[in-house]
Amino acid sequence: MYEPSAEHDEFRSQVSRFVETEITPHATTWDRDDSIHPYPMHLFGQLGELGWLGVGFDESIGGSGGGPLERCIMFEELARGSAGTALGIYVHTSLATAALTTVANTSLRDQFVPSLLAGELTGAWAYAEPDSGADVTQVRCAARRDGDQFVLNGSKMYITNATFADVILVVVRTSGEPGRLGGLSVLAVDGESEGLTRSSMAKLGMRPSELAELHFDDCVVPADRLVGELDNGFRQCLAVLSQGRIFAGALALGLGNAALQAAVAHVGTREQFGGPLATKQAVRMTIAEMTVRLRGVRLLVYETAEKMARGEPYDTDASITKLVASETATWVSERCLHLHGANGYMLDSPAQRFYRDCKINEWGEGANELQREMIFEAVAKGYTP
Ligand SMILES: Cc1cc2nc3c(=O)[nH]c(=O)nc-3n(C[C@H](O)[C@H](O)[C@H](O)COP(=O)(O)OP(=O)(O)OC[C@H]3O[C@@H](n4cnc5c(N)ncnc54)[C@H](O)[C@@H]3O)c2cc1C
């Protein structure tokens, strides 16, 4: 059972103080500003300097040590300030950098990971395509080997950070037909590569983060940019995606906590029918239910992170964590907006931002229907909840 240590509490306070001064005061502006570069790029440098991008990464490759628990604390606190900002950091560290760290060969890893962890370079992870959403076997973006290089043709879409990323880990088909996981490889592609065009996509929520559509038109990538094995790289990255579900759960937890805090503050001050809304039983029951559900998520997130830290199998727990955390964040955010009434519907209210930010967590890191499929298969093989 998760028991936060004094070090964990101290780390949480440090991150929380940073968020209160550097993120929360700007969260509404970053959400509203739909200009070319809404992402607060300076955060990569700041978090790199503090050593927080490296939390949970080994010191031998430029990380700061610590483990999954510390990384969960960081994402929970960042998302409490701005979930969209946390999403950009999450993709950078826990997908792009984590894939290079665990799957790439030493030379590729050393070329990129220390700079990514220092915040000098930025990363993205690209598998989604127009015809490949929840079903990754449908990836069609193709890489043809030509001597000591690959030539890429095809598209990606909905790729976080890819408008600006220095290195994009692109899932490509190197053999076989769509419908199989085999034949999928991963390439570390320079964001400025010739033959790659990237365009920004406007979206409903998580607006400080940036989404890109990518087009590869005879884009040449050196063969030594192969991450993992040819035709098997994506399969090797599955463990990274499984880890990612724990951190995505922590992000959803932070977002849910922010919604709970906003709801408690509002019902404490808004008066109707002769007193604060907080004096009405139905409102009190709603706040209690939000609290109970988030408490359950907290236990799940940190217990799964602890399992991972102990080196025990955690794949099914990670699926459950991401599923419950994301659906709870959606429910809590909707209740938060409901309790705010028209006040929460206004664009300067954080309540409507939480409501728009939460939904992606149900599809990201594998749609929740797929998590349910995996959970069913695990139970059928003897997994005990
Ligand atoms: C803000 C944001 C950030 C993103 N960032 C990235 C990124 O960095 N990198 C990246 O590669 N992708 C990213 N994506 C895309 C993400 O990977 C996809 O949204 C996800 O894979 C689901 O695909 P889809 O949206 O095309 O939905 P679809 O696969 O078309 O699914 C549509 C609906 O059907 C449901 N569904 C799917 N399969 C089943 C099934 N077997 N049974 C029942 N229901 C099912 C889904 O849950 C969903 O409700 C991002 C998307 C958004 C919105």
- Ligand 1 close to Cβ of residue 158 (< 6 A): yes
3-state percent helix, strand, coil for the chain, nearest multiple of 5: 55, 15, 25
User: Which residue has 């409903």 as its token pair?
Assistant: 204
Is the CB–ligand 1 distance for residue 170 below 6 Å? Answer: no
This prediction's pTM: 0.97
Q: Once rounded to an integer, what is the mean pLDDT over residues 342-350?
A: 96
pLDDT-above-70 percentage for the chain:
99
Ligand 1 centre to CA of 262 (Å) is 29
CA 47 → CA 22, 149, 244, 305, distances in Å? 11, 35, 19, 22
Q: Which of 241, 363, 368 to mutate to test the pocket of ligand 1 (most atoms within 8 A of CB)?
A: 363
User: What would the DSSP string read from start to end of 263-299?
Assistant: HHHHHHH-EETTEEGGGSHHHHHHHHHHHHHHHHHHH
pLDDT tens digit sequence for 179-225: 989 999 999 999 999 999 999 999 999 999 999 999 999 999 999 99
358: CA distance to ligand 1 center in Å? 14
pLDDT at 3: 80
Contact of 251 with 92, CB cutoff 8 Å = no
Structure tokens at 275: 């007193």
How crowded is the C-beta side of 50, counted as CA atoms within 13 Å? 16
pLDDT digits (tens, 9 = 90+) for 269-306: 999 999 999 999 999 999 999 999 999 999 999 999 99
Cα–Cα distance between 140 and 142 in angstroms, integer? 6
Give the Cβ contact number of residue 278 at 10 Å.
18
pLDDT in tens, 147-169: 999 999 999 999 999 999 999 99
Indicate whether 36 pLDDT > 60.
Answer: no
Provide φ and ψ at 214, rounded to 5°. Answer: -120, 140
Per-residue CA distances from 191 to 157, 170, 221, 316 (Å) = 15, 11, 11, 34
Q: Is the CB of 360 under 6 A from ligand 1?
A: yes
First CA to last CA distance, the chain: 14
Q: Is the pLDDT of residue 35 over 80?
A: no
* Range list of β-strands (E), 191-269: 196-201, 211-222, 226-227
**Can you say whether residue 16 is alpha, beta or left, with left for phi > 0 and alpha for psi between -120 and 50 degrees?**
alpha
* C-beta neighbour count of 192 within 10 angstroms: 9
Q: Is 15 in the pocket of ligand 1 (CB under 6 A)?
A: no
Mean pLDDT (whole number) for 70-77: 98
Which among 69, 359, 45 has a CA at the least distance from the CA of 205?
359
Nearest ligand 1 atom to the CA of 368 is: 47
Please state, as a whole number, how many other Cβ atoms lie within 10 Å of the Cβ of residue 380: 8
Domains of the chain: 6-122 (1.10.540.10), 125-231 (2.40.110.10), 234-380 (1.20.140.10)
Q: Tell me the best of 158, 186, 209, 237 to mutate to test the pocket of ligand 1, counting ligand atoms within 8 Å of each CB and taking the most.
A: 158
Cβ–ligand 1 contact at 126 (below 6 Å) = yes
Please name which of 157, 158, 174 lies closest in space to residue 215, comparing C-alpha atoms.
157
**Orientation angle between helical segments 42-50 and 83-90, nearest 10 degrees:** 70
Phi-psi region of 160 (alpha: psi -120 to 50; beta: other; left: phi over 0): beta
Is the pLDDT at 18 greater than 80? The verdict is yes
Assigned token pair, 124: 């993205």
What is the pLDDT of the chain when averaged over all its residues?
96
